[in-house]
Amino acid sequence: MNDEEIIQRVLEGEGDCFGLLIEKYQKKVAGMIFNMTRDHHLSEDLGQDAFMEVYRNLGSFDAARSRFSTWLYRIAQNKTLNAIKKKKPLFLAEVPETISARDASDEAVTKEFYAEFDRILDGLPLRQRVAFVWAEIEQLSYQEIAEIEGVSLGTVKSRISRARQHLQEALKDRKPVSHE
């Protein structure tokens, strides 16, 4: 059953079917929120809030305008950005140990390198960091990111390019240490 069929069943009164959407997208939403907030508890709360808002507003979803996943991610992102703005001093006070959603090939790189990478990533302007996380960690296309962010494709490309430049510059003298 595809997303639109599930949504139709929920709207027809089969509320239990919404669980199928939660199962399908929960990990992706939680990972995205954690990569923006670096706070597991806040990520869980914001994820639940996002799914509750989606459920309450499911009747307003328009499959002709966007995919369900894009609509969901945008709601989750907006909730997260609002929470970050309210909690900014605490958010910046914590330096994370690692980011989530690593490849198996990343296992050869030391925790120290990732801690440095995360520190630098956290130092990026929020919009650049969010676009970079969507593209590089969550593996969304630039077009999907543009739809989620509600900005032009050029804006997404620019944000990601600036983020990459900053990261490359900050890490240019650092070499990942591999275990051979």
> Which of 133, 130, 167 lies closest to 150, judged by CA?
130
- pLDDT tens-digit profile of 80-130? 988 887 764 433 334 344 444 554 444 544 567 667 777 888 888 888 988
Better-predicted residue by pLDDT, 99 or 167: 167
Whether residue 102 contacts residue 173, with contact meaning beta carbons closer than 8 Å, is answered with no
Contacts 24+ apart (CB under 8 A), 153-157: 156/131
What's the mean pLDDT in 126-146? Answer: 87
Better-predicted residue by pLDDT, 29 or 139: 29
Better-predicted residue by pLDDT, 116 or 167: 167
Please report, rounded to a whole number, the percentage of residues in the chain having pLDDT higher than 70.
81
Average pLDDT, the chain: 82
* Domains and their CATH numbers in the chain: 1-94 (1.10.1740.10), 96-180 (1.10.10.10)
Better-predicted residue by pLDDT, 151 or 94: 151
Which pLDDT value is given to residue 10? 94
* pLDDT tier, 46 (very low <50, low <70, confident <90, very high otherwise): very high
DSSP result, the chain: --HHHHHHHHHTT-GGGHHHHHHHHHHHHHHHHHHHH--HHHHHHHHHHHHHHHHHTGGG--TTTS-HHHHHHHHHHHHHHHHHHHTHHHHHH---S--S---GGGGGS-HHHHHHHHHHHHTS-HHHHHHHIIIIIS---HHHHHHHHTS-HHHHHHHHHHHHHHHHHHHTT--PPP--
Whether residue 76 contacts residue 33, with contact meaning beta carbons closer than 8 Å, is answered with yes
Which pLDDT value is given to residue 174? 66
Which pLDDT value is given to residue 161? 93
- pLDDT tens-digit profile of 54-70? 999 999 999 998 899 99
Which pLDDT value is given to residue 179? 45
Backbone angles phi, psi at 164, to 5 degrees: -60, -45
Query: Is the predicted pLDDT of residue 52 greater than 60, yes or no?
Result: yes
Take residue 7 and report the two structure tokens written for it. 């949504």
Is the Cα dihedral 142, 121, 25, 64 positive or negative? negative
With vertex at residue 117, the alpha carbon angle to CA 39 and CA 89, rounded to the nearest 5 degrees, is 40
